[in-house]
Amino acid sequence: MKVVVIGGGVGGLHAAIAARERGADVTLITDDTKGTYRRSGLPDIVAGYATLENITVPYGKETEGIEFLRGETVTDVDIVSQSVLLKNGGKVNYDALIFATGSRASMPRIEGADSPYVCTLKSADDLPKLLDVKDSAVVVGAGFVALMTAEGYAKRRVKTTLIVRSRILRTTVEPEVAEVIEAKMREHGINVVRGIEPERIVGNRLIAGGKEFEASKIVLATGITLNTELAKKAGLKVDRAGIIVDEHMRTSVSNIYACGDCAAVVDEITGMNINIPLGSMAVKGAKIAGANAAGGSESIKFVRMQNEELFELNINSIGYTLDEAKTFDPNARRVEMKGAYVVVDSSNRVVGANWLFSEFYAHYGNILYDCIGKPLSYVEELFEHPELKIPELNMVKENESLQEVKE
């Protein structure tokens, strides 16, 4: 069984490892020459307390036997002859193929976006330009990449302004949680400007909302563009959410799979195909794609689970926020429980939750993840009698009792 993987990010690497573990002959093709690294760690490099080496995934015994074709670009896929064509004129045949082509930074269509003072943060190739900053920076965006980039500059004592169209983390946390995070950012010297959009860029000046912001670096962190062009060209079914896959990570062509940012995976809550551009989710899907490409029959459905740290705040988000839930159930509502915001649909089924670690208990995270799809009463019982569902809490109490006896 010959399995070919296109893409060398964490998704592609874990898909290749999973296929190899099943005994397949595996070739991984990537145009990247830097190895596999955690893109979520790039802001740490901006902050100055990490290097590319720190966030690079070390290869070990699990990668033995995998053929890596680095610095190679796949230009075409022939699904009839079951082969991929390379830019250098070479060809690699396959029995099963995995797309792990990822995504790239999305550039807003505004005048001056090609200014030499403008950059993005999506790959290690962006780092030299990002780090070439003097005394000030403007970051545009409302997601974690934008916020963590702003944090990185602030920790380097660079005067930082964050431009946000509406509010930060709109699709990730509830407004009350966002307000706490925004206040923390202001506390650390970041000038958060809300309610305006970039209009144009002139040299090192960003014009937004009729105002002018001058900086030595302008970072546009306004989203991603999925790398699905090759899949479309090959004739796979693709929509705005990515390459459509089923619960087995199989595409519309039976012996071709997809995982990571480029894939539109099956949502456990709605049953629809959605895009979840997170490294942790990429790894989960990659393991299934790799196993099945090598002859397995494993399946998976996804619930987004994200944990990020920002200015000593641990931000946790599972499933949907209320605003997002209302897009598929107008009668969705939320319930606040000890600092957590739990979102339920019209049938009282839990479809999401988000909270700050500093205002909640560490052990509840995985339990709330398991609550997705269950009745609200299950969560209410959890909060009323957590010791019944969280064994770790009983262990803590037992240890405290033993300590009291010893004393």
pLDDT in tens, 168-190: 999 999 999 999 999 999 999 99
What is each CA distance from 311 to 176, 294, 394, in whole angstroms?
A: 17, 43, 31
Query: Which of 160-164, 372-376, 382-386 is most confident?
Result: 160-164
* pLDDT given for residue 402 in this prediction: 38
Distance CA 94, CA 407 (A): 67
* Residue pair 344/350 in contact by the 8 Å Cβ criterion: yes
Residue 339 has pLDDT above 90, yes or no: no
Mean of pLDDT values over 226-254: 98
Residue 399 has pLDDT above 90, yes or no: no
Specify the CATH number of the domain 118-220.
Answer: 3.50.50.60
**Could you confirm whether domain 312-393 is CATH 3.40.50.2000?**
no
* pTM for this entry: 0.91
The yes-or-no answer to whether 2-104+224-293 and 312-393 have a common fold is: no
Categorize the per-residue pLDDT at 304 as very low, low, confident or very high, splitting at 50, 70 and 90: very high
Domain positions in the chain are 2-104+224-293, 118-220, 312-393
In the chain, the amino acid numbered 117 is Y
Residue 352 has pLDDT above 80, yes or no: yes
Distance CA 277, CA 79 (A): 26
* pLDDT given for residue 407 in this prediction: 47
pLDDT in tens, 42-63: 888 988 888 988 888 888 888 9
- In sequence order, what E strands does 148-223 have? 159-164, 191-194, 198-202, 205-208, 211-214, 217-220
SS3 assignment, position 352? strand
* pLDDT given for residue 222 in this prediction: 92
Categorize the per-residue pLDDT at 392 as very low, low, confident or very high, splitting at 50, 70 and 90: low
356 φ, ψ (degrees, to nearest 5): -105, 135
* pLDDT given for residue 362 in this prediction: 56
Categorize the per-residue pLDDT at 364 as very low, low, confident or very high, splitting at 50, 70 and 90: low
pLDDT in tens, 88-144: 999 999 999 999 999 999 988 899 999 999 999 888 999 999 999 999 999 999 999
* pLDDT given for residue 398 in this prediction: 45
Categorize the per-residue pLDDT at 406 as very low, low, confident or very high, splitting at 50, 70 and 90: very low
Specify the CATH number of the domain 2-104+224-293.
Answer: 3.50.50.60
